[in-house]
Amino acid sequence: MNAILDFVVGLDSRWVLASLLVVLDAWAIGMIYRARPDRRVGLLWSAIIVMAPIVGLLFWYALGPKPMPRPTARR
- For the chain, give the percent of residues with pLDDT over 70: 84
Question: Does the pLDDT of residue 75 top 80, yes or no?
Answer: no
- The predicted pLDDT at position 42 comes to 87
Indicate the pTM of the whole model. 0.66
Question: Does the pLDDT of residue 8 top 80, yes or no?
Answer: no
Domain-by-domain residue ranges, the chain?
Answer: 21-66
What per-residue string of b and e applies to 28-55 under the rule 16 or more CB within 10 Å gives b?
bbebbeeeebeeeebeebbebbeeebee
27-56: pLDDT as tens digits:
888 888 888 778 898 898 889 888 988 888
